[in-house]
């Protein structure tokens, strides 16, 4: 791609934490949209390893998950030549801008974040300051690149709102320093629910049986979907409020088969939950197969993955530096 072409495309940024096995929730709600949008934008897809430190991690496992996520991004269809796939911690400007932005973010607004409240409950023995300032690091990720669009799942909408607030507050003080980003999500697929508790979102940090990982074997997938919570009724209908488990399976089927929810419901008319589970299982196994095959090839070649991460961190760093310098100048830090 020529330099002029690159410059005319609007910028897209998104990130995924290397905090566990990537789930079909991450895939359907976020990564699939990355693939859909990747040719229309100049894209940065970060492996947000600094965010993952807000919860205690086994260091060797965090390192392994990081390389795996890089391979998975590519296996899912992202293009490592065109898209900037890189580790957040390899571009120090993320942490540097975070400090500046934290001086323009209020304790009050951070304490209203539902993710902070939820994670404080699940990590009650480790409610650290990083968990609290998590959205500031996320704002820095996005604002560093003059990002126009941020594809995420529904759980991140509030973090996008605070990012916009911080950008607008900063711009009101210093002129148009940051682009104010827009969120991108598909309402129908922005929140895939847990298989064991369909009132909660599917999450890679929850117990294994609650999610399907992109790397699960067909047997794992069969077992997990067989046990997925439905309800005592027998009727297959799309009603997320009253039938969250069944509706979640319909959403997964619809997202992966490409059929609309309406068509999916019609397809299952007169069938039972057993049929629904069986067909969801088939479509999940079939959709994950090419991703797994590609992943298994890529993960053998760590040198290739490292090369991609290094090259792209350098490219990302040079864009990030431009914004950071401007910010330092605006706020009055002495420049040599």
**What is the Cα–Cα distance from 329 to 118, expressed in whole angstroms?**
37
Residue 42 binding partner per list ligand ATP, ligand LTN, none, with a CB distance cut-off of 5 to 8 Å that depends on partner kind: none
205 part of the interface to ligand ATP, by CB under 6 A = yes
Is 263 noted as a catalytic residue in this protein? no
**Considering only residues 49, 68, 93, 141, which one is a binding residue for ligand LTN as defined by CB under 6 A?**
141
Cα separation, 270 vs 8, whole angstroms: 52
Residue 25 binding partner per list ligand LTN, ligand ATP, none, with a CB distance cut-off of 5 to 8 Å that depends on partner kind: ligand ATP
Per the CB < 8 A criterion, the answer to whether 145 and 44 are in contact is yes
Confirm whether 224 is a catalytic residue.
no
Query: What is the sign, positive or negative, of the torsion defined by CA atoms of 86, 91, 96, 100?
Result: negative
Q: How far is the CB of 151 from ligand LTN (least distance, A)?
A: 8
**Distance (Å, whole) CA 69 – CA 49:** 10
Q: Does 156 bind ligand ATP (CB under 6 A)?
A: yes
How much helix, strand and coil, in percent to the nearest 5, is found in the chain?
60, 10, 35
Half-sphere exposure of 203 (CA within 13 A, CB side): 15
Q: Which of 191, 201, 224, 243 is catalytic?
A: 201
Q: Rule CB under 6 A: is residue 206 a binding residue for ligand LTN?
A: no
Q: Exactly one of 79, 96, 155, 161 binds ligand ATP (CB under 6 A); which one? A: 155
Choosing from 51, 191, 267, 277, the residue that interacts with ligand LTN (CB under 6 A) is 51
Which among 90, 89, 19, 98 has a CA at the least distance from the CA of 52? 19
Pick the piece of the chain touching ligand LTN (CB under 6 A) from 12-20, 116-124, 241-249, 301-309. 12-20
| Rounded Cα–Cα distance for residues 201 and 198 (Å) | 7
Q: Out of ligand LTN, ligand ATP, none, which partner does residue 190 contact, by CB within 5 to 8 A per kind?
A: ligand ATP
User: With binding defined as CB under 6 A, does residue 150 bind ligand LTN?
Assistant: yes
Helix axes 114-122, 129-143, angle to 10 degrees: 140
Q: How far is the CB of 19 from ligand ATP (least distance, A)?
A: 3
Residues that bind ligand ATP (CB under 6 A): 16-17, 19-20, 23, 25-26, 29-30, 152-153, 155-156, 190-192, 201-205
């Amino acid at each position: 791609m020529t330099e002029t072409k690159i410059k005319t495309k609007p910028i897209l940024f998104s990130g995924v934490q290397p905090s566990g096995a990537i789930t079909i929730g991450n895939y359907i709600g976020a990564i699939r949209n990355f693939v859909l949008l990747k040719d229309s934008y100049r894209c940065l897809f970060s492996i947000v390893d600094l965010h993952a430190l807000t919860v205690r991690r086994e260091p060797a496992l965090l390192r392994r998950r990081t390389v795996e996520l890089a391979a998975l991004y590519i296996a899912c269809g992202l293009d490592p030549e065109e898209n900037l796939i890189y580790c957040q911690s390899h571009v120090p400007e993320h942490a540097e801008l975070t400090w500046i932005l934290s001086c323009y973010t209020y304790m009050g607004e951070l304490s209203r974040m539902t993710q902070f409240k939820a994670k404080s409950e699940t990590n009650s023995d480790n409610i650290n300051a990083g968990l609290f300032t998590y959205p500031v690091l996320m704002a820095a990720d996005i604002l560093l690149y003059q990002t126009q669009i941020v594809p995420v799942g529904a759980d991140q909408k509030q973090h996008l709102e605070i990012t916009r607030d911080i950008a607008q507050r900063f711009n009101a003080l210093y002129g148009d320093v940051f682009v104010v980003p827009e969120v991108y999500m598909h309402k129908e697929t922005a929140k895939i629910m847990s298989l064991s508790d369909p009132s909660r979102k599917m999450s890679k940090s929850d117990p294994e049986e609650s999610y399907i990982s992109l790397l699960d074997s067909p047997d794992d997938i069969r077992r997990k979907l067989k046990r997925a919570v439905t309800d005592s009724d027998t009727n297959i209908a799309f009603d997320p409020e009253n039938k969250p488990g069944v509706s979640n399976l319909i959403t997964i089927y619809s997202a992966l088969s490409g059929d609309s929810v309406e068509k999916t419901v019609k397809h299952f008319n007169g069938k039972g939950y057993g049929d629904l589970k069986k067909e969801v299982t088939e479509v999940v196994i079939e959709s994950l197969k090419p991703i797994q095959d590609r992943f298994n090839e890529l993960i053998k070649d760590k040198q290739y993955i490292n090369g991609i991460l290094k090259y792209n961190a350098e490219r990302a760093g040079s864009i990030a530096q431009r914004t950071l310098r401007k910010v330092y100048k605006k706020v009055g830090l002495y420049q040599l």
